[in-house]
Amino acid sequence: MSQIEVISFDAEGTLVTPDFSQAIWHETIPALYAGENGIELAKAKKIVAQEYNKVGDQRLEWYDIKYWFRYFQLGSPEPAIQSCQAKVSYYPEVMEVLSSLKGQYKLIIASGTPSELLQPQLQGIKNYFLRIFPSISLVNQLKTPEFYTYVCESMKVSPAQIVHVGDNWQFDFLNSRQVGIHAFHLNRGGNSQQGSLADLTELKRHLS
């Protein structure tokens, strides 16, 4: 892999733990919904989760916090996002891996999380990255093969010069590999599909 110039990371589930996302989608929004509608929190959690599932993760709305605040009539999402800021955390090996790769490669983020939710989650690590590519905010797409081509063109490298790593089999692994990027699937849960990485230190081993 001597020609690699750029290493691209997914954000949520790869660098950033699900704590922030869990807090905003499954605690804060249901709590606001319960307050607005005068119902129990447990019931609100159920209703909100059902509404999310009706949309599903193949549609852009799933990721769009402004859409959901409009849909549930909860006002502006800004205060809710800020209230969850303290929940942001990174996986234990992240800082060390980013520090050691930063000198040798251009590091970027390719994320399906829209900018308004991505920025707060990257607060503590954004200085490691040359560019941040939130697919939905930049090209109004999920992480499709076309999005990965856009990333290569923006970075002025060929797909063979990029490594991408992420925890979603479709959006991180299959779709980036389809355009010729060196893709790695991260499976933090262990019991790996063949070829998956258990954490990011294993990525370092593959690069050297």
Binding site for Mg ion (CB under 5 A): 10, 12-13, 167
Could you tell me the smallest distance in angstroms from the CB atom of residue 73 to Mg ion? 29
CB of 13 or CB of 180, closer to Mg ion: 13
13 or 124, CB closer to Mg ion?
13
The three state secondary structure string of the chain is CCCCCEEEECCECCCECCHHHHHHHHHHHHHHHHHHHCCCHHHHHHHHHHHHHHHCCCCHHHHCHHHHHHHCCCCCCHHHHHHCHHHCCECCCHHHHHHHHHCCCEEEEEECCCHHHHHHHHCCCHHHCCEEEEHHHHHCCCCCHHHHHHHHHHHCCCHHHEEEEECCHHHHHHHHHHCCCEEEEECCCCCCCCCCECCCHHHHHHHC
CB of residue 86 to Mg ion, shortest distance in Å: 21
| Distance in Å, CB of 196 to Mg ion, minimum | 13
State in angstroms the smallest separation of the CB of 186 from Mg ion: 8
Nearer to Mg ion, 10 or 64 (CB): 10
Nearer Cβ to Mg ion (15/84): 15
